Structure 1
Amino acid sequence: MRLAPHASGDLSESLSRLGLIGAAERVRITPLTGGVSSDISLVETEGARFCVKRALPRLKVAALWEAPVERNAAEAAWMRAVRRWLPHAVPEVLGEDRAAGLFAMEYLPPADFTLWKTELLTGQVDADFAALAGRNLGLIHARSAADPSLRVAFANDQTFEAIRIEPYLRATARAHPSLAGRFEALAGETLATKHALVHGDVSPKNILKGPHGPVFLDAECAWFGDPAFDLAFCLNHFLLKGARAGADKRRYLVAFSTLARAYLEGVEWESASELESRAAALLPALFLARVDGKSPVEYLTRDSEREAVRRCAAPLVARPPGKLGDVAEAWSAAA
């Protein structure tokens, strides 16, 4: 196959420095779509295919949302750490240019790696896969909790504040002044809790179904902090998928319960009930944030869908439940 010359001089210079392309090698660079926080490109040479990811200082959303580009390095470091514990759970990092704010990673072909979000949106709810995702997420948290060096290596409070706490909790507090005190309390408790290495964006859009199980992508929010955030953030997407008009809530709630149970069974670094309590308090806040925060989900397009989320979530934010099952039960009973 004859490949077109590359279009980006800056990118090709970085790849040359990393030894990923030769000085005179012809390559094709194709921008990939789908991300709001980074530019991602597929790089094809005559002998290899890989992806390059570069973080953006301003995210591609309607609201003004800025974030430190240093998160690119944190993501590469998270992937390297996780690869030690679960080699098939993340793409391999092939090279990193911190000065340019980018890294290269292995390309995972869609024919072999299915996006979990796509399946869920079409009503394909695989509870066994949800259990495996929960179990592997718990293993990542457990292994990282046992490594004291990670607390310093991932002391990324400023980035986590900019990418998660402000757009999800503080922004939603501004939209719901009567709940502002609860949102601020959740923000403070989350930032103060330091137990494990947190991915920060555990979502079906960032999980592939691969030949060896779940593959986790997009760890730009990587931070040593509260693992309950990852659990709540992921479970939230089962609630959201069930909020669509005509969707069968019950099927998504089965996956919700299966993932939560598999995760909690692996909690060994702290009391599982204490972690569950924090996750149960965060979950309705994140549920509300995905309609009234800076990053609303794109598939809840009807006012009635968004209003249903508000009716269920707001009372649970005001009076936090102690169990994840309490949130699921409230959503199941919601009109």
Structure 2
Amino acid sequence: MGPLPEELAEGLRAMRLLAPGTRAEGEPLAGGVSSDIWRVRLPDGRELCIKRALPKLKVAADWRAPVVRNRYEARWLARAAEAVPGFAPRLLGQDEATGTLAMEWLAPDRHPVWKAVLKDGAADAGFAAEVGRRLARLHAHAAQRPELSADFPTDSLFHAIRLEPYLLATARAHPDLAPRLEALAARTAATKRTLVHGDVSPKNILAGPQGPVLLDAECAWWGDPAFDIAFCLNHLLLKCLWTPAAAPAFLTCFEALAAAYLASVTWEAPAVVEARAASLLPGLFLARVDGKSPVEYLTDEASKEQIRRVARHLLANPPDRLKTIRLAWGEEIGA
């Protein structure tokens, strides 16, 4: 570790986590595209993690987003802790002036990133089911508290970070599917049910000793819970091309996560949520090859064409069951 940049130290002082006149040590962490993330050691030896939102994301496309999203991530962390203790890191403080927030440090040796676990071919259907179960509990908790919607006035932010770079950018790449993709974006934007995380991805889930821990709520939004479940399931489809030997196990995880989530839906009919998620998922699938945020581990055209073939078919023939997607993708890849 080296000296912490002064602007980050200022944020810690504003949060009263660092005393005036004292210094902290830190090291930048890799992996994020939307924020600077640091591991910090305070003078008394305590460790924590701090984040500062970036105005321009670290991707090839010109993708910008308001740094005020840091405020809403802090609010999401607080609400998640209430709804499902242990499902999110403990929030330690937030300073809007410097755009930083502080949360507990979760040691990597005890909290590996689920994405890395999947890369190694380790597919635990029980863990995937727990992700779905905890996500549904969080959605159910917030849905019973509609007054929380006032704390997340983030429609424009969600549009900038999710709907535009994923669905609308992909619509421009596939003009013949543009009406369908634009309709999915419009429906998602108009559906107001509960508190949505917006980036439920294996890279943002830690496999902790007490179960999954969800990170990185910069897209927090009061909207459609179907987005969260579709976004997460999408990654389990994509991972089948990353680690082909584990593809059947990844599809089992897909089934387990979906079933556990739907079994815990209480705020509306589970079949209604499933229908929205199932029709949205092919758009998100196609977006990971032709949107503004292509998945980094799929570089060969053959894999991209497999995704395009299945996604385009499902967008033209919208499914209302998640199982339909699992079967179509399994048939395509022979799993």
TM over 0.5: yes
Aligned to 1:36: 33
In the TM superposition, what whole-angstrom CA distance separates every residue of 1:130-188 from its partner, at most 9, and x where no partner exists? 00110000000000000011122112100000000000000000010010000000000
Match of 2:174 among 169, 176, 183: 176
Secondary structure of the 2:40 match is strand
Question: Which deviations, in whole Å up to 9, do the C-alpha atoms of 1:101-147 show, x marking residues without a partner?
Answer: 11111110011111101011111000000001100000000000000
Q: Report how far residue 248 of structure 1 moved.
A: 3.6
SS of 1:21's equivalent?
coil
Residue number among 149, 161, 164 corresponding to 1:163 in the alignment: 161
Q: What TM-score do you get using the length of structure 1 for normalisation?
A: 0.97
1:138 and 2:109 aligned: no
Structure 2 counterpart SS, 1:43:
strand
Q: 1:269 aligns to what?
A: 267
The equivalent position to 2:125 in structure 1, one of 116, 121, 127, is 127
Q: Hey, what's the Cα distance between the residues in 1 that align with 2:13 and 2:266?
A: 44
Aligned-partner residue type, residue 192 of structure 1: A
Specify the code of the residue in structure 2 equivalent to 1:39. D
1:328 corresponding residue in structure 2:
326
- Partner residue in 2 for 1:241: 239
Cα contact 2:119–2:243 (8 A) shared by 1: no
Work out the CA distance in 1 between the residues paired with 2:305 and 2:55: 32
Task: Work out the percentage of aligned pairs sharing the same amino acid.
Answer: 53
Shift of 1:301: 1.6
Give the unaligned 5+ runs of structure 2.
none
Distance 1:144 1:7, change over 3 A: closer
Map of 1:60 onto structure 2: 58
> Paired residue for 1:77?
75
Tell me how far 1:226 sits from its aligned partner: 0.2
Displacement of 1:97: 0.4
Q: Tell me, yes or no, if structure 1 residue 9 matches structure 2 residue 21.
A: no
Per the TM alignment, residue 73 of structure 1 is displaced from its structure 2 partner at its CA by 0.6
Contact persistence 1:93–1:106 (CA under 8 A) = yes
User: Does structure 2 retain, via aligned residues, the 8 Å contact 1:163–1:221?
Assistant: yes
The CA deviation at 1:17 is 2.1
C-alpha contact 1:241 1:252 (8 A) present in aligned 2: yes
Distance 1:68 1:27 in 2: 28
Structure 1 segment 227-238 matched on structure 2, within 5 A: 227-238=225-236
The residue number in structure 2 matching 1:224 is 222
Q: Distance in 2 between matches of 1:237 and 1:15?
A: 35
Please state how far the C-alpha of 1:219 moved relative to its aligned partner.
0.5
The equivalent position to 1:92 in structure 2, one of 74, 90, 93, is: 90
What's the RMSD between the two structures over aligned residues?
A: 1.2
Structure 1's unaligned 5+ residue stretches are none
Instruction: Give the conservation status (yes or no) of the 8 Å contact 1:238–1:252.
Output: yes
Which of 207, 210, 222 is 2:208 aligned to? 210
CA distance in 2: counterparts of 1:247 and 1:316, whole angstroms: 25
